[in-house]
């Protein structure tokens, strides 16, 4: 158990819909990262936050948005869903400033868009 909690674990929805994925980082971790992993693919960096502020963006679509709240949990919002958005979405956290130490990954939220 990494200490990072992601909900929901599985989500099935239809094209055009909107979903929200939630992440609770490890206690005390200030940095949160979101990654997308499609079937048999690598980890595509989406976005990272540090203590509530966005610090870096990757190839995140305009239909996607995220935020980190004062209690440090984070949410990833995916809208106007397309079939190609089906993937495993991982949240990770780390203790200090972004990219200064190991990432602790949650178990992921598997999104299926039908």
Partner 1 sequence: GQQVMQIPQYQHVQEGEDFTTYCNSSTTLSNIQWYKQRPGGHPVFLIQLVKSGEVKKQKRLTFQFGEAKKNSSLHITATQTTDVGTYFCAALTYSWGKLQFGAGTQVVVTP
Q: Does 53 bind partner 1 (CB under 8 A)?
A: no
What is the Cα–Cα distance from 48 to 84, expressed in whole angstroms?
Answer: 22
Pairing of strands 109-113, 87-94: antiparallel
Q: Does 106 bind partner 1 (CB under 8 A)?
A: yes
Q: Does 35 bind partner 1 (CB under 8 A)?
A: yes
What is the Cα–Cα distance from 51 to 42, expressed in whole angstroms?
Answer: 27
Query: Under rule CB under 8 A, how many of the chain's residues touch partner 1?
Result: 25
User: φ, ψ for residue 84 (rounded to 5)?
Assistant: -70, -10
What is the Cα–Cα distance from 26 to 80, expressed in whole angstroms?
Answer: 30
Q: Does 26 bind partner 1 (CB under 8 A)?
A: no
Which listed range, 22-30, 40-48, 63-71, 73-81, lies at the site for partner 1 (CB under 8 A)?
40-48
Q: Does 59 bind partner 1 (CB under 8 A)?
A: no
Which listed range, 20-28, 66-74, 76-84, 99-107, lies at the site for partner 1 (CB under 8 A)?
99-107
Q: Applying CB under 8 A, which residues contact partner 1? A: 2, 33, 35, 40-45, 48, 55-56, 58, 90, 92, 98-99, 101-108
């Amino acid at each position: 158990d990494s200490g990072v909690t992601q909900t929901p674990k599985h989500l099935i929805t239809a094209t055009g819909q909107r979903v929200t994925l939630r992440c609770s980082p490890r206690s005390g971790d200030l940095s949160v990262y979101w990654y997308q992993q499609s079937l048999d693919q690598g980890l595509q960096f989406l976005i990272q936050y540090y203590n509530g502020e966005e610090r870096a963006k990757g190839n995140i679509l305009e239909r996607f948005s995220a935020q980190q709240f004062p209690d440090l949990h984070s949410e990833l919002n995916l809208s106007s869903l397309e079939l190609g958005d089906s993937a495993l979405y991982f949240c990770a956290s780390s203790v200090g400033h972004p990219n200064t130490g190991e990432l602790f990954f949650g178990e992921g939220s598997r999104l299926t868009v039908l």
